[in-house]
Structures are given as C-alpha cells and as structure tokens.
C-alpha cells in the first residue's frame, strides 16, 4: 500500500510548508489552515469556502506542533476548540433567528447558513481565541490580533453581526474553558504500575505512565471510561500471545523500506499535528471540496474531535486494566523504528487504532463516498505500529473495535439532539430557542 504517499501525505507535508511563522506577533497575523489549499487569506478564512473554522483549526494544529504537545494532550486540545466552535455557531444562529423571526433554519447542507456568515465567523473567532488562549497563554496577544483583523475586514453593514457573533463565541469559549479546568485532565496519575511477568514496565526515570490520568478524565459522550472496555488480550506466554510476538519479531528482522516509510509517516508524535490532528486535516480537506456551511463544518470538527478524545479515554482505561508488555520488552531482539520511538504506556490496545477507527467512522457519515479510502487509511495506520515494532496485531484489532464502538455511540448520541453538542432547548418548531439547557 502506498496510500500514505498520496492522500494522507498531502495534509502533513502541507502543514510544514504553510504554517511557518504563524504567530509572529505581526499586526495582521492570521489563522493558517493545515493544508496548502486552505491557506488562510488575509482575513483569516478559508480561501475557497469563505469559512472561518478551517483556518482556526489550522491555527490549533500549528500551535500543537510549535508547543510539541504529546498526542494525548493534543487530542484534548482539538476537542476543546472543535466543541466550542460548534456550540458558538449554534448559539449565534439561535440569537439571529430570534431577532429576525426567520423560519428557514440551516439544514447543514448549504454554503453559508441562514444566520449570516459574519455572525458565524465572529462566533468561531471569539470561541477559538478564548479556548486557544487558555491552551497557549503565551500566544494571547497574537490570537487577539487575529480576531481584530477578521473583525476589521468585515464590511460596515456586517461589522455589527460579526461583533454579535464574537461576543457569543467568547461566552461559549469561556464556558468550555471552565469545563476544561475541572475535567481532571491535569490530575497526576494516582494509580500503581503493577509488576510481574508479561506486564508493561516504564522505562522512564522516575517510572511514569504517559496519559496515566486519562481513565478518570471527564468524557464528552461516554457514560464511563470502561463503557466499551476491550476484552482481555491473549495471556502472556499463551500460544496466541507467542504467535503475535513472533510476527513482530519477523517484521523487525526483515523490515522493508516500504514498511519503514509507512511506520515513519504515521509516527505522528510530538512536534507534528499528532494522530488526531491528522484526522482533523482529512475533515478540512473534505470541507474544502464541498459546499459546507459554517454550521456543518463546525459540527464535523466538534463531533470528530470529541469522539477521538472519548476513544482515547476508553483506550487508556483498557491499557491500565491489562498493563500488557510491549513487544520490544518481551523480546529484546525486536528493534523499534527511531521515528516512532517507544511510547511510555502499555501496549494493549493501540492508541493509534482507537483514534483512527473512531475518526474514520465519523468522517464516513459526512463523506460516505470516501468509505473505502478511510478504511484503507485505518488499516495502514494500524499496520504502521506493527512495522514500527511497538504493537502486536491483536493490539491493533482491539483498538479498531473499541474506536468503532465509541464512534457509533457518539454519532447516535449526537443524532438524538440531546448530547453535549446540543446547547439549546427547542421551540415548538424544533428550532434552537436560544435558551441554554440547564
């Protein structure tokens, strides 16, 4: 398979080419999208769609890269931005409908929405700036400069609409920040790393487990971290375990250049947009090719990023239930691809596969024609971790299953109209009333 060198490779290579000094503290600094085709115009919106959200997502991706965030930290960051954007647009549209008595709601299929593009853009800008300032406080002034530039490029007739949307967006962003401060993500790992044959052991000094607090973090949709916990892996020393270990040893002993390339491409470690950022890029590419409204675009970003975060929580619950030893720890002759590195957390299930399969499930609901391509990417992402020497095949299979189950749950919850992504009561016509749900 060479998928990574075509569709997948486009997004990540473009990040490096486009984002260079994004927040250079210049008065006209603007959000930059993660793909060349979505490079921000001077007013910081998508050059082909007239949307604000892709550019702000690109800003988030660049800041993740610049700050060398770990993949687990980055996944949370993207979810905070994505959910804030979508809730802000919904609230801005609810206020606009209430002001004008408009009976024609946005069905999320149009090109600009019925609330007015400047109100939507203001909502996205305000929410994004507040959340990103919380995540990257040293960039506060540059982020405010971006909002100012976008506000000032609005025409006189639409300036007030932008400001109204911005005010709503800032309020939503502040609420998301309040939630984030209490979600338990920054709590230290309070558990105990067990010791014994077949159990993973930390190679850090002092011993630690990356993402160790994740099972106790507040999810967006899941009722508990263990809701979709994977079944136990093959017992250490069993026939099934030894067969899985031998497969990784054989790959390590005979690793081809093609396998090395795939492992390296999908490494997506700190200093890159990370795994979750890669899948958000796929969403941006799709948005760039179709006439999405701002509401539909932010809906996709929110559902995608929140689903990946919940999949990550579920994945770490399983990791810290089974504490399975990594392949190179079970067989010291196994080599690990340098670009991939040795993750400091247990093997089962694979985090890459949990996130990738959950992301693909969400993306195919918005882009059903891309099903085969998305499936192929999930398969390659999983194989990359075997080629890298860090996961058994059963890690990959369990991760893919967990990710799909999480996504099916989040998609259903979202469609119910009463999920975390639904901020309003509805009036008698089934439209947002503008009254927040208590």
| pLDDT tens, per residue, the chain with 438 residues | 334 433 444 444 333 333 333 333 322 223 332 222 222 322 333 333 489 999 999 999 999 999 999 999 999 999 999 999 999 999 999 875 545 444 333 434 333 334 479 999 999 999 999 999 999 999 999 999 999 999 998 888 789 999 999 999 999 999 999 999 999 999 999 999 999 999 999 999 999 999 999 999 999 999 999 999 999 999 999 999 999 999 999 999 999 999 999 999 999 999 999 999 999 999 999 999 999 999 999 999 999 999 999 999 999 999 999 999 999 999 999 999 999 999 999 999 999 999 999 999 999 999 999 999 999 999 999 999 999 999 999 999 999 999 999 999 999 999 999 999 997 544 433 343 434 332
- For residues 142 and 48, state if they share a domain: yes
- For residues 154 and 285, state if they share a domain: no
- For residues 218 and 102, state if they share a domain: no
Task: Specify whether the CB–CB gap between 320 and 312 falls below 8 A.
Answer: no
Residue 188 lies in a domain: no
- For residues 131 and 265, state if they share a domain: no
Residue 194 lies in a domain: no
- For residues 258 and 179, state if they share a domain: no
Residue 256 lies in a domain: yes
Q: Containing domain of residue 143, as a range?
A: 14-183+432-436
**Number of domains composing the chain:** 2
- For residues 33 and 178, state if they share a domain: yes
**Residue 391 is part of a domain; what is its CATH number?**
1.10.606.20
Prediction pTM value: 0.85
Residue 172 lies in a domain: yes
Residue among 412, 286, 422, 310 nearest 358 (CA): 310
d(CA 436, CA 326): 47
- For residues 153 and 282, state if they share a domain: no
Residue 193 lies in a domain: no
Residue among 393, 395, 394, 361 nearest 377 (CA): 361
- For residues 281 and 360, state if they share a domain: yes
Q: Which tokens go with 190?
A: 């309070």
Burial class (CB in 10 A: 0-12, 13-18, 19+), 183: middle
Residue 275 lies in a domain: yes
- For residues 239 and 340, state if they share a domain: yes
Residue 206 lies in a domain: no
Residue 259 lies in a domain: yes
- For residues 46 and 122, state if they share a domain: yes
- For residues 381 and 247, state if they share a domain: yes
- For residues 102 and 236, state if they share a domain: no
């Amino acid at each position: 398979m060479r998928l990574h060198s075509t569709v997948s490779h486009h997004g990540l290579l473009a990040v490096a080419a486009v984002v260079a000094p994004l927040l250079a503290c210049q008065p006209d600094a603007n959000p930059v999208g993660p793909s060349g085709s979505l490079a921000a115009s001077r007013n910081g919106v998508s050059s082909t769609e007239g949307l604000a959200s892709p550019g702000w997502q690109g800003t988030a991706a660049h800041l993740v890269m610049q700050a060398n965030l770990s993949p687990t930290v980055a996944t949370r960051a993207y979810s905070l931005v994505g959910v804030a954007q979508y809730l802000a647009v919904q609230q801005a549209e609810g206020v606009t409908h209430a002001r004008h008595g408009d009976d024609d709601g946005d069905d999320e299929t149009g090109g600009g929405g019925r609330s007015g593009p400047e109100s939507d853009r203001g909502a996205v800008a305000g929410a994004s700036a507040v959340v990103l300032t919380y995540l990257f406080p040293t960039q506060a002034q540059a982020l405010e400069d971006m909002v100012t530039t976008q506000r000032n490029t609005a025409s006189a007739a639409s300036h007030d609409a932008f400001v109204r949307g911005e005010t709503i967006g800032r309020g939503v962003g502040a609420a998301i920040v309040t939630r984030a401060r209490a979600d338990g993500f920054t709590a230290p790992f309070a558990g105990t790393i067990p010791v014994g044959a077949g159990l993973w052991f930390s190679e850090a000094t002092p011993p630690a487990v990356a993402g160790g607090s994740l099972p106790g973090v507040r999810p967006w949709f899941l009722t508990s971290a263990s809701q979709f916990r994977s079944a136990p892996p093959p017992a250490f020393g069993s026939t099934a375990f030894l067969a899985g270990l031998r497969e990784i040893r054989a790959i390590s002993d005979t690793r081809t250049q093609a396998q090395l390339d795939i492992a390296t491409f999908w490494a997506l470690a700190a200093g890159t947009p990370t795994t979750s950022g890669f899948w958000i890029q796929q969403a941006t590419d799709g948005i760039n090719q179709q006439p999405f409204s701002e509401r539909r675009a932010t809906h996709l970003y929110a559902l995608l990023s929140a689903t990946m975060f919940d999949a990550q929580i579920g994945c770490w619950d399983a990791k810290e239930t089974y504490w399975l030893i990594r392949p190179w720890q079970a067989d010291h002759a196994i080599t690990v691809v340098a670009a991939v590195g040795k993750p400091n957390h247990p093997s089962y299930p694979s985090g890459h596969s949990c996130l990738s399969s959950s992301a693909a499930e969400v993306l195919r609901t918005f882009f059903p024609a891309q099903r085969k391509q998305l499936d192929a990417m999930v398969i390659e992402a999983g194989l990359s971790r075997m080629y890298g020497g860090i996961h058994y095949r059963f890690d990959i299979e369990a991760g893919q299953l967990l990710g799909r189950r999480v996504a099916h749950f989040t998609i259903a919850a979202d469609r119910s109209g009463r999920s975390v992504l639904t901020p309003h009561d509805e009036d008698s016509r089934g439209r947002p009333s503008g009254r927040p749900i208590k």
